[in-house]
Structure 1
Amino acid sequence: MTFTERFVALGDSFTEGVGDEDPTLPNGVRGWADRVAEQLMLADTGWGYANLAVRGKKIGQVLGEQLEAALALQPTLVTLYAGGNDILRPKVDIDELMAGYDDGVTRLAASGATVVLFTGFDTSKSAVFGRTRGRTAIYNEWVREIADKHGTLLVDYWRLREFQDWRYWAEDRLHMSAAGHTLMAKRVLEVLQADDAITLPELPALETLSRRAAFAADARWARQHLVPWVGRRLRRVSSGDALTAKYPQLTGLHPAR
């Protein structure tokens, strides 16, 4: 099939869709990018969609493994988010990291495609990941400067304060839930100035936990999610090592629900 418009998504777990689980789909996840593609196709059946994102990838891997493949698909719309996995490493040179990021955005912008970039999320309320907040702030300033330089669109995740509501997050407290991915899809479509038929899900009632119950929940989270995550870092392995892109070639999607 020949597509007149081509949306290609690059990145890591954020764009792959981790946290928005769906065992019927490739890699077992859906995510905001799929949801954006579905809405674009509802408005215009000429859209094709490829998602090259793979969980666990750092900026160098995203650009090294996904950039050429994305350009070969001759995209008219590209989204890029990468850097979160670099920021969480024990040591990182943000300035050096963003020089490579800038080179990648230069090539994407030169293709003539509409490019959408993302800042990182403000982790100020996270007891664990909040320690990297300063790194993320520096990263975000680089992203904003690069977006201005190349005239790209920007989804300023840091400033989307509704995501400070942890009901939009998965049990691992690192990835958005289905509700969070749905909300993010709506915010991306707003930046694209595209209409959508997305209905945001109703959030569960906020729980007020006793100190003892909160401690037990934190201990359970650490055992089930934090310890395995740290273990992978120590072994220098990634949850995405055995995975490939969900949609490496352009395809058509229809809203799942």
Structure 2
Amino acid sequence: MFAINSGTISFISVATARSLQLISYQNNEAVALYNQGKYAEAVLLFKQAVSASKTFLNYQMAEVESPSTDVGPFVSLQVFPSQAARTCRLKSTMDESVYTKAFEVVVTLACKDEARQFACQGHCSLFSRLSTILIYNLALVYHALGLAYNDNDSRRSRDFLMIARDLYSFAYSIPQQEQDKEIIDASLLSLFVQAILNNLGRCYAFLDDAENSVVCFELLLRSIILSQQDLKVTGNSGDLEDRLSKEVHSIACFFNNTLFLVLKDPGFAPAA
């Protein structure tokens, strides 16, 4: 399993931890429905989960746990692309251009006896990260719906793709909107944000918006180049290559969609 630790850890109340678990459970159940091609059911469940996560994001968290109260659980998030086989109604040619994997979430809980801490900022970050994953997944379902209706109902297909475009854009903008600029950490950017840029570029292409499509693919290519440069600096290229080995087929679309930029300007080509 290729897992990405969110980098955010927090001591929170038991009730909040249970809410995180419930939302992550709804997300994973919706991912399973998406993998089975049950798009309408997946949309409903994703919307419920997004609504629940927004409730926490909009809530003013000013409380601080009293030292006399029981210590809440220690919480972290792990995010990973679903490995389940796809049975959805996408053409193979469309699969080659779109990153079709949704992201599952694991909430890890552990108690710390010594701590008497209520990390409000970390608390908000957990829900922000989870909300971002949910919005991307919801966009992916609408994207799949748009492609599925492409041959039979072009107007409905376009409507779904427009919704997907707006949701991808929102998911991409969340880190810039938050005061915590590390809301999506570097390890998550290397795959998750590239998936957003790739699919957003494809949505623009299907909607005949070539200018914005090219912008997305330029950002995608720059992200690929930067991630390779980061690997050289940190010296962890071997570890990451091992973890990404199962993703080779899935991320091939990133390179296929940016190839025209490399051919146009060889200086764009990632260093070997």
TM-score, normalising length: structure 1: 0.25
| More helix as a share of residues | 2
TM-score, normalising length: structure 2: 0.24
Q: Which has the higher contact order (CA 8 A, sep 6+)?
A: 1
